[in-house]
A = this chain, B = another copy of it.
Amino acid sequence: MVSTKFVVLLLLRGVVSLAQKATNGDDDDLLPSPGSPDSGNPPVGSEPDDDVNPVMEEIFSSWALFILLFLLISALWSSYTLAQRRIRAVHETVLSIFYGMVVGLIIRLTPGHYIQDTVTFNSSYFFNVLLPPIILNSGYELNQVNFFNNIVSILTFAIPGTFISAVVLGVILYIWTALGLEGVDISFVDALSVGATLSATDPVTILSIFNAYKVDPKLYTIIFGESLLNDAISIVMFETCQKFHGKPAKFSSFFEGTGLFMMTFTVSLLIGVMIGVLVALLLKHTLIRRYPRIESCLVLLIAYESYFFSNGCHMSGIVSLLFCGITLKHYAYFNMSRRTQITVKYIFQLLAQLSENFIFIYLGLSLFTEVELVYKPLLIIITAISICVARWCAVFPLSNFVNWLYRVKTLRSMGVSNTNSMSIADEIPYQYQMMTFWAGLRGAVGVALAMGLQGEFKFTLLATVLVVVVLTVIIFGGTTAGMLDVLGIKTGCIDENDDSDDEFDIEMPRPVSLNASPIVAYRDEDPSTEVLSPNIAPVIGEPLGSSPAPQATSRLSLDRQHLRDTFGTIFKADSQWFTNFDEQILKPVFLDNSGGSPQPGQASDTSYRR
């Protein structure tokens, strides 16, 4: 490890000194330096950068891109090394940030400014290039059964949770700045804006850890769903706050904001679903599958269109893209040629992987390459503590609310009126609550939003957000694996509904079950899948050491079996209408069952393949 790091540092130093040379034009025989005597024309216009020879600009941007790609390669290589040596103490995102910081520092210390300008964090770049692949891949790879089974918990954490977190954080920050200790004085709306930016939890780090450890799918799904949706919610909250920037806050603003949010969410969801269905119908009713190269491009492009269209209409592109991804996998996937199925899946994965790694490198770089930042140490410490408080205020009360809700619902459906007569396992037990709290590290969405802050203290607030985000990633991200052990959360769960396109990982194709399994995973009727009764008998409720006496266990398991059956029925009834509607109305319309079979579910082996 040490020797690798040394080599990396040496290489970086070499690269940067080369880059520096290029910037200074020392050995620049080929190209004229701008303003140097041999370039015939004097610079026109006020800014010297404007007149840099494009060929030279290309050289600079080549070096900047070379450095970024090199960092990306280092991060991926570290990720491989960590996986290969089974090192769990350090996580790759922490290393990515660290690499970014080291290179950022070197770039900062070298005299040239062009490379520094190029590698600076750019929010438009983040929103338009880096974020979409991650969201799209998340939607596409989402385990849809788990997601919709836990939709109540997810929405509770995502909507009121983000709101509580933003308000608590905003209030603390407002009070602190009102004390005037560091000369920072911001309005309440600005404090709330910062609260909103720091309430977007990051889906990347936690999920990569959870994926690596194969954490219990339920916990995974709750945290995943929350972190996906609360990005969208904090974006909308931030934008709403910015609207009131510089205006006196009114009480009616609250309702206006809420209404705006509900509308945005619904419309965005509809845009995403409609575009997904459009792709399915397009693939069904044309012969484009005969040209798989064009087909793959079109699927990718149309999915991206949902994001840009939604953003362009002031809706939430993240929500649209997420649901577009889900719809694509649910319907359009089965109308694609086999080659497109594989291409789309691998491309989404590869782009997401690159984006994820890159975002953290970018964050690390920004700490040193953003020259205008103003660091206020006390404010940073207060903010870092506040986000833990805010997260605490959101997670624990809302978990109790969800538990209460499920208990009431369960007992009512069983005809029991006294809510305390039976001990029913919690929907979200304490370990899960603690893990959800711990998983609340902040990511690049917050930083990207914070670049939109306005006013006198813009750069102070941006610096605060940036440092706090990096701190949470290092502290919480670095300790998540340990926390899983401490809390005794079940790991190594193999998801039965998992994935159908990984046949190349195990070398031999499995032609028969290729297309069938995702459909089977949908049908919700198989009593053997654990996920169907998520609020009964949570797997981690009983760590091995603390199990009750054998008789008790047996009685308990009988009880649970009973409850499970009951619940199976209830949840089937709840979700059956959509499953039926989907199987009998939607799928025949959206899927290409030209093979002649009237049952798309069973017939997938023959009819969806061509």
Chain A interfacial positions (CB closer than 8 Å to B): 18-19, 22, 29-32, 38-41, 53-55, 57-59, 61-63, 65-66, 69-70, 72-73, 76-77, 79-80, 83-84, 123-124, 127-128, 238-240, 242-243, 245-247, 260, 286-288, 290-294, 296-298, 300-302, 304-305, 307-309, 311-314, 317, 337-339, 342-343, 346-347, 349-350, 353-354, 357, 448, 451-452, 454-455, 502, 504-505, 507, 509, 511, 609-610
Contact = CB atoms under 8 A, between A and B. Distances in A.
Given A128-B65, A294-B79, A317-B62, A32 B245 contact: yes
A305 B59 CA distance: 13
Contact of A69 (B240, B308, B343): B308
A57 B293 contact: no
A447 to B, nearest CB: 11
24 contacts: A30-B314, A31-B239, A32-B242, A39-B245, A54-B124, A57-B124, A65-B128, A66-B312, A69-B304, A72-B301, A76-B294, A76-B301, A83-B291, A293-B349, A293-B350, A337-B504, A339-B505, A342-B346, A342-B504, A343-B346, A346-B346, A346-B347, A507-B609, A509-B509
Contacts of A309: 62, 66
Nearest to A288: B80
Nearest to A313: B18
Of all A-B residue pairs in the complex, the 10 with the closest CB atoms, nearest first, are A40-B246, A339-B504, A62-B311, A66-B308, A54-B452, A62-B312, A343-B346, A62-B308, A63-B312, A55-B452
A608 to B, nearest CB: 11
Given A55-B242, A66-B305, A83-B291, 13 more contacts: A38-B247, A39-B246, A40-B247, A40-B455, A53-B452, A54-B452, A55-B238, A58-B124, A292-B504, A338-B507, A339-B502, A342-B342, A343-B346
A201 to B, nearest CB: 20
Nearest to A305: B69
A65 B308 contact: yes
A127 B317 CA distance: 29
A40 B248 CA distance: 11
Contacts of A54: 123-124, 448, 451-452
A312 B77 contact: no
Nearest to A290: B84
A69 B22 contact: no
B293 A30 contact: no
A346 to B, nearest CB: 4
A80 B299 CA distance: 14
A383 B452 CA distance: 48
Given A58-B128, A83-B291, A312-B66, A300 B32 contact: no
Contacts of A451: 54
A69 B246 contact: no
A556 B65 CA distance: 58
B41 A455 contact: yes
Contacts of A38: 246-247
A295 to B, nearest CB: 8
Nearest to A46: B46
Contacts of A79: 294
B350 A302 contact: no
Contacts of A61: 124, 128
A58 B350 contact: no
A41 B18 CA distance: 42
A84 B291 CA distance: 9
A29 B314 CA distance: 10
Contact of A62 (B53, B73, B128): B128
B297 A76 contact: yes
Nearest to A73: B301
A513 B193 CA distance: 60
B311 A127 contact: no
A41 B260 contact: no
A73 B305 contact: yes
A54 B451 CA distance: 7
A297 B354 contact: yes
